[in-house]
Homo-oligomer: A and B are copies of this chain.
Amino acid sequence: MDVRTLCLGVLSLGDASGYEIKKRLEDTFSHFYDASFGSIYPALTRLQKDGLVHCETEAQANRPDKKVYNLTVDGRLKLVAQFNNMPGRDRVRSEFLVAMLFSDLLPAGRVGEMIDRRIDEHRKFVAQLESREVRSTPAQQFVAGYGRALYEAATNYLQENRYLVESEALLAQVDNDRVEVAD
């Protein structure tokens, strides 16, 4: 799924400028998709060229003109057509889990610090999701609830299993004393 399709999706929920599309991605989509200005603006230009969105320029004092985009009929058809394909695999990139995998290379105490911070971030994120869940469609509730369920599961897992990586520094020393077991 490229940024052009993503823009069509956001615009199907209401007209918006490039800047507003970015904000809505950060609000509603933040736990499962994102895109930078560097991809959104070119995407909108090309969507307009292809006749999939229409643009109305609002002049503004002391700021660049605001370009408000809305879907054309072709754009709406294109969006619907995208969902004929089955969705591809989720792609996750977690620097945190890479760090955990190499936790034995980390300075003492650092792993605990990272986990504490991560738990705190998850808590804030769940709170933020819950505050938005009240007035929304069932589909939006479903997606927000999915995020909440996963962040809560992650938090519980971290609390219950952190000993596996936090005691790693000690275990590593023990392991060095019995190299004969190594594969």
Contacts and interface: CB of A to CB of B under 8 A. Distances in A.
Interface string A111-142: 00010010001000000000000010111111
Contact of A139 (B86, B100, B141): B100
Contact of A1 (B79, B91, B95): B95
Given A95-B88, A145-B157, A154-B150, A139 B101 contact: yes
A94 B12 CA distance: 19
5 contacts: A32-B97, A32-B98, A33-B93, A83-B105, A83-B110
Contacts of A143: 97, 100-101
State the main secondary structure of chain A at its contact with B.
Answer: helix
A167 B145 CA distance: 16
A102 interface: yes
A92 interface: yes
Contacts of A135: 183
How many copies, total? Answer: 2
Contact of A33 (B1, B98, B168, B171): B98
In this complex, which of A80, A102, A104 has the most chain B Cβ atoms within 10 angstroms of its Cβ?
Answer: A102
In this complex, which of A12, A95, A102, A137 has the most chain B Cβ atoms within 10 angstroms of its Cβ?
Answer: A95
A106 to B, nearest CB: 5
